[in-house]
Structure 1
């Protein structure tokens, strides 16, 4: 599933001085420079090159292009309201701390939200998923993940959970309210 809404156009000059337009995913950003700061929506962030860590204050997150590249460490220190479309938001991240600061009450799309993340534990029991319709591939290929707590997930609006828990080869503990599963017609597709 590819969307042009996450693409940014940039121009590159070749050796023969031809200008070529390239489209790249906005979510894939280059590493920031030590001590660099920025704003994502209204959320201020800082970057520490020595630990490859982005630290975020509070505010309303931007709707396109998160400021971190894959394989980064993220720390949230205050409430951050996430946008309705969080597809690929934490794709490939190394670690995340302060997840309880994330306000997920407006999200409708969690497609591949944590796909290929390197985290070992995720306690998302506090996530408000009451408006989410798409959880397709949400945790696909999070091979390092051993514990996953989804015990308060509200799946009443979810229409697509296919491959949600696919390729979780390291998963040892999964906490989820069993009644959330029964609401879905194609339960076998989440694994």
Structure 2
């Protein structure tokens, strides 16, 4: 017996401007078709099949049903306000550009946010993490990640950082202020 509790409905506009309602599982999204456009919350997006790239304008992101599947490339071109729960949001992505456009000031949950992502460099020094309480497994198994900048992370509200940096076999440079790293070591094992 199947459950529809994980289904998310979203609207997709095809090249011919025909609106199609899709119901897909929130955690596993199908690849879009070349030339498709859509809206995630109030954020308009387009998809380029030749590069497997989703490009996003500005707005307020939806609280569920992000349009990209794992192994996609993401480009943010304008300010996108992310929801409070960003668990698994960038799970398994291939690349991300325009991270400085992401407004993270409302996020409380970053559980597995970048888990298994294939990115090589992440500069998240501009992320506002002042409300975040959960960073469990945030970068777990990002095996291609070589440089990670968390230099301005505010971890004063974080209660769970377990396995945050687990299985980062390629990591060569980690930038983090002394207070954040000290707190991480006091709260829980990170590796």
TM bucket by the smaller chain?
A: 0.7 to 0.9
Please give the per-residue CA displacement for 1:61-100, whole angstroms capped at 9, x wherever unaligned: 0000100000000000000000000000000000000000
1:178: Cα distance to partner?
1.2
1:25: Cα distance to partner?
3.9
Q: Write out the 4+ residue segments of structure 1 that deviate beyond 4 Å after TM superposition.
A: 1-24
Kept in 2: contact 1:27–1:64 (CA 8 A): no
1:164: Cα distance to partner?
0.1
Q: Name the TM-score, length of structure 2 as normaliser.
A: 0.87
1:179: Cα distance to partner?
0.9
1:189 aligned counterpart, secondary structure: coil
**Which 5+ residue runs of structure 1 have no aligned equivalent?**
none
Give RMSD over aligned pairs.
6.2
1:36: Cα distance to partner?
0.1
1:56: Cα distance to partner?
0.1
- Relative to 1, partners in 2 of residues 1:62 and 1:3: Cα closer, same or farther, differing over 3 Å? farther
Please give the per-residue CA displacement for 1:6-37, whole angstroms capped at 9, x wherever unaligned: 55599999999999999974131100000000
Which residue matches 2:123?
Answer: 123
2:175 aligned counterpart, secondary structure: strand
Which residue matches 2:19?
Answer: 19
Q: Name the TM-score, length of structure 1 as normaliser.
A: 0.87
Kept in 2: contact 1:74–1:97 (CA 8 A): yes
Kept in 1: contact 2:129–2:155 (CA 8 A): yes
- Relative to 1, partners in 2 of residues 1:149 and 1:35: Cα closer, same or farther, differing over 3 Å? same
1:184 aligned counterpart, secondary structure: helix
- Relative to 1, partners in 2 of residues 1:121 and 1:41: Cα closer, same or farther, differing over 3 Å? same
